[in-house]
Structure 1
Amino acid sequence: MTSNMSTFFHHLCVFTLVTAVAVEFTLIRQELTVSIARRLQVTDVVLGAAAAALLIVGLLRVLFFEKGYDYYLHSYAFLTKIALFVILGALSVIPTQEFLSWSSSIKAGQAPVLDARQKRLVSSIIHGELAAIVVILLCAAVMARGGWV
């Protein structure tokens, strides 16, 4: 893999991740039907795969293809970006567990029940993911220009 290819795959993973979060944001606001629940489950799988691939490609870029790990480990923008990514990854477990818990209802052809409290929690996490993505993108732009060192 070359530096250009690693950059391409990194951006592909980022755009896939952002799209998946945006789709979840849209779907969770709708009335929960079997079809919507199934789409949320599939979208969450895509989101998880994109996040895992992003982490792997990002690690490869840091270690082998870009400025070297020493540069990145001294960049507050990079450290902030990684910290937010890890926090988001941990918080995203909550919607994932909720979506996975719907499997038996969906197989039975019934819309899962999502009480108001749990819906607010899942929605809040998805909103937080979108907000954090904006900050992560800011950090990436600052980091690419050598800022916050």
Structure 2
Amino acid sequence: MTGWFLASLHHVVFVGLIVMLATQMALLKLDPVPVQRIARLDIGYGATAGLMVLVGIARVIWGEKGWAYYAGNHMFWGKMGLFVLIALASIRPTLIYLKWRKAQRKDGAFVPETKDVQAARTLVGNQMVLLVFVVIVAAGMARWPL
């Protein structure tokens, strides 16, 4: 029962990551970008990613397959590598949003520069692509203990 619960929670949290990234992408297409909203959403995205890691660790420790299954599974390590790449790709948009938020506090009429908006859109899009590969690798991980 614990394994099922943790697996279900892991999947629900993953869907949350996808929704938050898709929402960020949509907000980055608005003119002007709603700075405060996207900054708050990014905080939620970071918290959800942290929850994803915690639930994943719980699955490894208390799940049905156990550490030995994961430790010897190359797909698992590929999935972990992809997740690290996603985390790294999320740093720059977060820094951009923080810069925007600070600028908007100083000047209520602040509008983000097009180049910054485009950079954030590209990095958020890259994260979305990497999440697709996480799904593909996760499916392989569940089927082939390589």
Which of 53, 58, 61 is the aligned partner of 1:60?
Answer: 58
The CA deviation string for residues 74-113 of structure 1, in whole angstroms up to 9 with x for no partner, is 2221111110101110120111111112223433562544
Partner Cα separation in structure 1 for residue 115 and residue 53 of structure 2: 31
Aligned length, in residue pairs: 146
SS in 2 for 1:110: coil
State the shift of 1:15 in Å: 0.9
Partner Cα separation in structure 1 for residue 141 and residue 133 of structure 2: 12
SS in 2 for 1:127: helix
Runs of 5+ in structure 2 lacking a partner? none
2:92 aligned with 1:87: no
Partner Cα separation in structure 1 for residue 142 and residue 71 of structure 2: 13
Alpha-carbon RMSD: 1.8
The answer to whether the 8 A contact 2:89-2:126 is kept is no
TM-score (norm 1): 0.88
2:28 aligned with 1:25: no
For 1:139, the equivalent position in structure 2 comes to: 137
For 2:5, the equivalent position in structure 1 comes to: 5
State the shift of 1:64 in Å: 1.8
After the TM superposition, list the runs of 4 or more consecutive aligned residues in structure 1 that deviate by more than 4 angstroms: none
The answer to whether the 8 A contact 1:81-1:139 is kept is yes
The answer to whether the 8 A contact 2:79-2:138 is kept is yes
SS in 2 for 1:56: helix
- The percentage of counterpart residues that share the same residue type is 27
